[in-house]
Structure 1
Amino acid sequence: MGFFSSIKNLWSSNKEQTPNPEQQPPNLEQTQNDTQSDADDTAWKEQLTVDLRAAEPKLSAWLFHVLEDVDTVTPYFWERLRFFLASLEVPEAEAEKFIDSFQKWLNEMDYEQVDEFRSELQYRLALALDLEDEEDERNRLIVKLSNGLEKTREQLSKHLDTLIKGHKSFDQSFWDEFEEILIMADVGYEVASNLIERLKARIQKQGLTNPEDFKAVLAEELNIIFEPKKRISAVNLPEVVLMIGVNGVGKTTTIAKLAHRAQMQGRKVLIAAGDTFRAAAIEQLELWAKRVGAGFFAKKAGSDPAAVAFEALDKAINEGYDLLFIDTAGRLQTKVNLMEELQKIYRVLEKKHPGAPHRSILVVDATTGQNALSQTKLFKEACGIDEIILTKLDGTAKGGVAVAIVMQHDIPITFIGLGEKMDDLRPFDGLEFANALLGITTKNN
């Protein structure tokens, strides 16, 4: 379920205001002004109701009418947003909570023009109203994904097009050239060989002979590779998520984005600063927690990370949090003591709350290519990894490392980072990723 309980028929009536008997009667001029103001207020509400009812029943269409002729943040903007939420029969307390959170974010970002935050507003509403899977939101994701993978696609797709045009059959030279393309895309030799064998078997099974069909076949195979295995999602609350990864991969902002998503979906989130050794790490995480409206727990710099994890979990249990994110240190993964610290955190959490941590998420930087692959290997061996978040895909030509990570380590990628904004962390979809990677355009049915 999303942040709000349900989406029902558009609300078409306004509550009558009950006059205060103790209030002094206004003078005639004031009464006339109030009457005119009430008339203007009623007029735009009636018009917006008509527009919303006539619009295609999807968030983007509704939001178009809500923001029509509204260019800046004014009381009128907030009134229209409140009226829209009321029209969806969102409980008043939940609507005000959403608006209060968004107001704080706008103040923090110093945004005043609607064009500066329109996409963020739609993203938050999609999460809050449980509309992230609707067609328009998915289209926005596909566009963002395609733009983010542009550098990787330019390198990979161009070489693939040359390969396809230069061959009339799937002969040995075709596969040799394709292997070189994969290695240049940072897939790696071992993974490239494995992928080629799978593709050969698929092509033979389907009886294909024309290389013109190759991109579609490759996309299908990648989708199967990326498909995550079924797992038990039920947890004993609070859910505990351990965030791991080396410094510089974007772990702090990723935690903030995950917390932001969870908050918009109605969960009570606590963030714990377990990276107690890096300068300013605690302050940075506290700032992000404040920005997204999540709870925060920290001890003084240099404290035992396991103690931070233990006390943060105690706070989460006692204060009724649904979800606890624990940041961890990110010094070079070759330092054995870092891995020992992580193992200690695991033991402490399990002792305090059976089943914790429920998820361990490794954050890796796509721009580091094969180095991201080695980080995955070392963290997996030291403490285990349940999921991977691949960041900075918007600035790299090494997006092919996603294929290598999943094939070599059999760990699902759950989110990808396509920029710095809150809505730039998007759920990972294997087929959409493959199509964007290969430049394949899909049409909606």
Structure 2
Amino acid sequence: MGFFSKISKIWRKNDQEAAPGVEEHALGQEHKPTPGPVEQGQMEQAPWQTELLQALQEAEPRLSVWLDHILAGISSASPELWQRLAFLLDNLEVPKDEAAAFIQDFRNWLDEMEYERVEEFRSELQYRLALALDLEDEEDERSRLFIKLSSGLTKTKEQLSKQVDQLLQLNKQFDDAFWEDLEEILIMSDVGFKATTTLLERLRDRVRQEGCNDSETFKTLFKEELAALFPQPAKRIKPQPPEVVLMIGVNGVGKTTTIAKLAHRAHMQGQKVMVAAGDTFRAAAIEQLEIWSKRVGAGFYAKAPFSDPASVAYEALDTAQAEGYDTLFVDTAGRLHTNVDLMEELRKIKRVLAKKHPGAPHRTILVLDATTGQNALSQTKLFAKDMDIDEIVLTKLDGTAKGGVVVAVSLEYGIPITFIGLGEKMEDLRPFSGTDFAQALLDL
């Protein structure tokens, strides 16, 4: 659909009182408009449109605040809501066909989920708008993510943050005993031995170099060094479509829902997305993925249960190329009910994808369950031995006291964590930020 690629420019008040040339210099040569009064020659607005537009112009330029005005007085999905959304998107200069597609897509999702009340779907609507308008980095959305991240890490913080805080209260100097106690706290929080050793070496050097002698400065240094441990995703040149994303991981880690959430993100960002059901061995895996694909607006390709997974991947790629898809997500088995070795099966899938589309798979994503703690490290070792892993998605971070494994997994194998799962909703898969994670985890 080419969703709203130019719309990130609109989040400014309609205040044109700045000195001439100032805004153009700050924003670049292209003027960045906000919804403004009806231009001469346009059809006269209805009273509700004039009132809503005025409210939007005067509102704080935050997505959630704008949505407050759109939803004011509306308690459920209704024709009035669709009119208001269409009016908003029209004033943001969104092409009418794209705006209509966005609204229809959302209405279809509401029907599929059987949601009617605003409180059931408001957060999903805001998330979709943030993705479609390329506003996920907007301050409002970052704040919303940080709150959710901090809440999701509650159990881990009870294990780690409180103990570190107590340690600082009991120790007036950073002597050997202090560092030994801190090492024990980190290891018990599933940070892992290697990650703990690396972190403490760097932290001790910083404390020594900066002459740190108080707990507040120590907390700041601790968060900075923790955040610095996480490797960043490599810059990639966009491949010739379709981009093929191979999803791997053991059964039970949340791979199916992760695929759905990633497909949802890509779809809302304007990509034409297909999902291939390559886990042909697990009972109901195909049906589950088909249901999710329908919910998120993605194309779907599958064959009969127990079909050769490599043939599914090959034929799905053939279809994706023929039908002009931008992205293809290929699911894989987490274990096999045959005598075939799992890793050999994955290698076979990679070979046939590369044969059909040179360079494919362009990304291989390992999905891990944070609640498994050190088992997540073992799974990473298992897959990394035979597969080139580009990214890690860590799920179920909201329900574990073992969130320290995020550090262990990322540092042990030097693989960037790109997304974290903080719940079951589509909006609960969010980009990973080492800085935000350190801030939320330590909460010191």
TM over 0.5: yes
The answer on 1:220 being equivalent to 2:224 is yes
Q: Residue deviations 1:162-208, cap 9 Å, x none?
A: 11011111111001101110111012223322221121122222222
Once residues 233 and 432 of structure 2 are traced to their aligned partners in structure 1, the CA distance between those partners, rounded to angstroms, is 14
Q: Secondary structure at the match of 1:226?
A: coil
Say if 1:146 and 1:12 are closer, same or farther in 2 by CA, change over 3 A. same
* Aligned counterpart in structure 2 of residue 78 of structure 1, from 76, 82, 93: 82
Does the 8 A contact of 2:231 with 2:411 survive in 1?
A: no
Say if 1:56 and 1:235 are closer, same or farther in 2 by CA, change over 3 A. same
* Aligned counterpart in structure 2 of residue 297 of structure 1, from 281, 291, 301: 301
Does the 8 A contact of 2:36 with 2:57 survive in 1?
A: no
Name the structure 1 match of 2:235. 231
Name the structure 1 match of 2:411. 407
The answer on 1:119 being equivalent to 2:123 is yes
Q: Secondary structure at the match of 2:239?
A: coil
Say if 1:229 and 1:48 are closer, same or farther in 2 by CA, change over 3 A. closer
Name the structure 2 match of 1:35. none
* Aligned counterpart in structure 1 of residue 376 of structure 2, from 372, 376, 400: 372
Name the structure 1 match of 2:6. 6
The letter of the residue matching 2:56 is: L
Q: Secondary structure at the match of 2:341?
A: helix
What is the CA distance between 1:74 and its match in structure 2? 1.4
Q: Secondary structure at the match of 1:416?
A: strand
Name the structure 2 match of 1:159. 163
* Aligned counterpart in structure 2 of residue 327 of structure 1, from 318, 331, 354: 331
The letter of the residue matching 2:117 is: Q
What is the CA distance between 1:209 and its match in structure 2? 2.9
Once residues 225 and 249 of structure 2 are traced to their aligned partners in structure 1, the CA distance between those partners, rounded to angstroms, is 29
What is the CA distance between 1:11 and its match in structure 2? 5.3
The letter of the residue matching 2:62 is: K
Q: Residue deviations 1:264-304, cap 9 Å, x none?
A: 00000000000000000000000000000100000111011
The answer on 1:149 being equivalent to 2:153 is yes
* Aligned counterpart in structure 2 of residue 390 of structure 1, from 374, 389, 394: 394
Q: Which runs of 5+ in 2 are unaligned?
A: 8-32
Task: Flag as ranges the 4+ runs of structure 1 deviating above 6 A.
Answer: 14-17
Q: What TM-score do you get using the length of structure 2 for normalisation? A: 0.90
Does the 8 A contact of 2:231 with 2:414 survive in 1?
A: no
Once residues 307 and 401 of structure 2 are traced to their aligned partners in structure 1, the CA distance between those partners, rounded to angstroms, is 39
Once residues 259 and 229 of structure 1 are traced to their aligned partners in structure 2, the CA distance between those partners, rounded to angstroms, is 19
What is the CA distance between 1:214 and its match in structure 2? 2.2
Name the structure 2 match of 1:28. none
The answer on 1:350 being equivalent to 2:354 is yes
Say if 1:384 and 1:227 are closer, same or farther in 2 by CA, change over 3 A. closer
The letter of the residue matching 1:256 is: A
* Aligned counterpart in structure 1 of residue 345 of structure 2, from 341, 345, 348: 341
What is the CA distance between 1:231 and its match in structure 2? 2.6
Does the 8 A contact of 1:2 with 1:129 survive in 2?
A: no
Q: State the structure with more CA Rg.
A: 1
Q: What is the root-mean-square deviation in Å for CA atoms of aligned residues?
A: 1.9
Q: What TM-score do you get using the length of structure 1 for normalisation? A: 0.90
Does the 8 A contact of 2:281 with 2:336 survive in 1?
A: no
Does the 8 A contact of 2:199 with 2:229 survive in 1?
A: no
Does the 8 A contact of 1:2 with 1:264 survive in 2?
A: no
Worse-superposed segment, 184-193 or 111-120: 184-193
Q: Secondary structure at the match of 2:46?
A: helix
Q: Which runs of 5+ in 1 are unaligned?
A: 18-38, 441-445
The letter of the residue matching 1:258 is: L
- How many residues align? The count is 417
